[in-house]
Amino acid sequence: MIRERLRPLASQAKRGYVRLMLEVVGRSMEAISQVDEQVRGEVSVLPNGFLFAMRVMPNGPALVMRKQRDGSLQYIGGDSAQKPDLSVQFKHLHHAFMVLSFQEKTAQAFANDRILVDGDLGYATRMTRVLNRLETFILPKLVAERAVKQYPDSLGLPEKLINGARIYLKVVTNFVDTVRSS
């Protein structure tokens, strides 16, 4: 009986967590595209105005990114009137929760048929590399190793801390700028 009453609360908590994490990921992707040369190189191949969406099917939380003319990505929120050029869709809220809580790697979720990718495979590979690089910088190593397919052996603590701090600072700066312009 108690379990039945808690189930809707657990579902609401998962939805809230996934929504929050998608916003954090979106804002962090925007930030890393502004401060990291390797990510800028990955993004430079994408056409201007390129739209990337990551969402939970059918109408769950989402993030949408647009490539800007300056070569960076812009987080535009959870929805776009325009169809994305590349869409990564979790088939169920629980699948998104498993990936975004770092209980399952994105590659493993894809292998388990929990994610759909709609768009150019080359662009999907680039965006995966952007996400992996982001996760290696902003997550503690123990968590990042669970999140990415292969944690880079060459990434030392000083580089991780400096780049992580630059990304977090840029996230805060971008968020404050967004609030001011609203």
Residue 3, pLDDT > 80, answer no
pLDDT on residue 74: 95
pLDDT of res. 72:
95
148, 42 contact by CB (below 8 A): no
Strand ranges inside 30-162, DSSP E: 51-56, 62-67, 73-77, 86-90, 115-118
What domains sit in the chain, N to C, each tagged with a CATH number? 2-173 (3.30.1050.10)
Q: pLDDT tens digits, residue range 116-159?
A: 999 999 999 999 999 999 999 999 988 888 888 888 888 889 89
| 27-38 per-position pLDDT tens digit | 999 999 999 999
Q: Supply the pLDDT for residue 181.
A: 77
